Structure 1
């Protein structure tokens, strides 16, 4: 480990910006070859700086999970924002209306109640907002079922004056159960075919399907299987993590986000304790990998348990780590980690370049 990393207080979240730039470029190039736009999901980093980097690189806009994120991104200068979440309640609709006066904004609808509320609010303001109909991708968490059910839903909201239906959105969350690239390819083909078949039904009924939005950080890495839709919304690809290592999509050297920790005790020859826990790493687990992260340079050492401020690291042989050693950990799920800190430490080719604010941290409202 280089000396500049060793100087940081721990635990600390480190972003290797040279890897970030490569990840952003690779995803954009793949999307472009397949005729797709890329509208990355910024819930992974919640940083206006990193969102700006993605847009400057060529992304068509961004995707936000929550209004709070979108408001911060608008203040950071992002001009085209899709909010991939149903917005229910007058407080949120007023905020969306306010946001629409500052930047280009769109959102999704997945219920007659939600679509009606949204339309009424914008119609009273003599405005219309673009919406995508959310199509269920197998998680059963809010989307309209594909095919005829989606057509019937679209017909039921067709005459609402405050919204304009511009396409469909799909999130195939089941892809994260994949063991390998071939399973990921199959999921990608399923999301493509589901969107295209449903869009065809709606187009035949007179709807304009300008936007067909899908693509996760898994299926976005096989963009050739998504030809025919219009955009992907990959998120944690910008950092990558153990979930992607687990599925064979990336190697540890492709992972830009690391959590730096210090070994603080050694209770026996096999186990050491590091000063990082669920408050700085994440308690999320991978489907097919044991432990709570990958320790760079020490693949034989497993993080087998976490408390709030302690990580338990064991090795079948004598543990090579000693008290005072600093380690970089690739987390199982990068999206959780950035929301645990106010700022991260940016490095480029091993040299410290400055801190990056996580300015939408905690903005889930």
Structure 2
């Protein structure tokens, strides 16, 4: 619920995690419009925000369901009333499958499969229940993390899954996370095009073998507007696009003005013309400078409105900032920092402080922070 007593963000203690609702809602509107224009579905990954209220916002803007990475995230979201959840992470541990089974009365769950032995273990587990579980095959479109190769290898796994009475193959999906290492817009375009083709063509191969594939899902934040246009794709799953961050700006995917998430921090120490120290260290900003080889960011976050400053190094509670030229900042002054990687920063906080044009309008809990099992 939003409220307002005209308190501004500058009156907060620091460090605080600020969420600009106007910017976030515009980001959601643009994703929803893209999906509608393409005639496809939108299933955002909540690992970025880990917040029930934001998941509800995404559904209100037209998302068909959500994506999670971990069973513990699914538990939070299902218990909060989210009814359609893809767990986009290979599961075979009986401990985790027991937790999945406990959630089946609450939500429609879809599980990821990328290995024949994993499919066998899933079927063996669910044979002891009355469930028939929906599964999607993870296809490797170039990240070389999880997933089977497109084409023949995907078809072979699909045929294996079709043998099992407690599994129901419903889709293929991929994640082109290697787009974060792209050095140009042209490279992102190539990665996104292949991402969509890898899934759509693999689905066509499966269907030629008599195995229907109703869902064909793609979409890292840098590529979803490219892969989502490929013929045969039915769904996109951007996560970071709810907020964007300095990495996305560096990739040319977003502007700083589209970054909805910022860390409010204070100057706690300084040596004029040399350095200053902020109360935002690695336990606030994280040490993340980009996954999969990304090299588009400078320092450990972008200090808004201060091009003369670079967050040069972090210790746990200190952000040491190099002063490249004269700055007007003084002791106790506040700055806002756009994180390099929003997802890792969110996982360090308990709550968002919500604002519209700098006026605080409420708070939202980050219920799934720390949920890594």
TM tier, shorter chain? over 0.9
Q: Does 1:203 align with 2:207?
A: yes
Write the distance in 1 (CA, Å) between the matches of 2:124 and 2:44.
30
Write the distance in 2 (CA, Å) between the matches of 1:223 and 1:275.
40
The aligned counterpart of 1:317 is: 325
The correspondence for 1:290, drawn from 298, 306, 319, is 298
Write the distance in 2 (CA, Å) between the matches of 1:129 and 1:156.
15
The aligned counterpart of 2:116 is: 112
Secondary structure in structure 1 of the residue aligned to 2:188: helix
The aligned counterpart of 2:47 is: 43
The aligned counterpart of 2:280 is: 276
Structure 1 unmatched ranges of 5 or more: none
Q: Does 1:127 align with 2:135?
A: no
The correspondence for 1:357, drawn from 362, 365, 372, is 365
The aligned counterpart of 2:316 is: 308
Secondary structure in structure 1 of the residue aligned to 2:18: strand
Please report how far the alpha carbon of residue 120 of structure 1 lies from its aligned counterpart in structure 2 after TM superposition.
Answer: 1.7
The aligned counterpart of 1:216 is: 220
Range with greater deviation from structure 2 (15-24 or 176-185)? 176-185
- 2:228·2:235 contact (CA, 8 Å) conserved in 1? no
The correspondence for 2:338, drawn from 325, 330, 333, is 330
Write the distance in 2 (CA, Å) between the matches of 1:173 and 1:206.
31
- 1:35·1:227 contact (CA, 8 Å) conserved in 2? no
Rate the CA distance shift 1:112–1:200 in 2: closer, same or farther, 3 A. Answer: same
Please report how far the alpha carbon of residue 169 of structure 1 lies from its aligned counterpart in structure 2 after TM superposition.
Answer: 0.9
Secondary structure in structure 2 of the residue aligned to 1:318: coil
Query: Residues 296-333 of structure 1, C-alpha deviation per residue, up to 9 Å, x if partnerless?
Result: 11123111111111111122212332111100000000
Structure 2 unmatched ranges of 5 or more: 1-5
Please report how far the alpha carbon of residue 183 of structure 1 lies from its aligned counterpart in structure 2 after TM superposition.
Answer: 2.2
The aligned counterpart of 1:100 is: 104
Normalised to the residue count of structure 2, the TM-score between the two structures is 0.94
The correspondence for 2:25, drawn from 7, 11, 21, is 21
Normalised to the residue count of structure 1, the TM-score between the two structures is 0.96
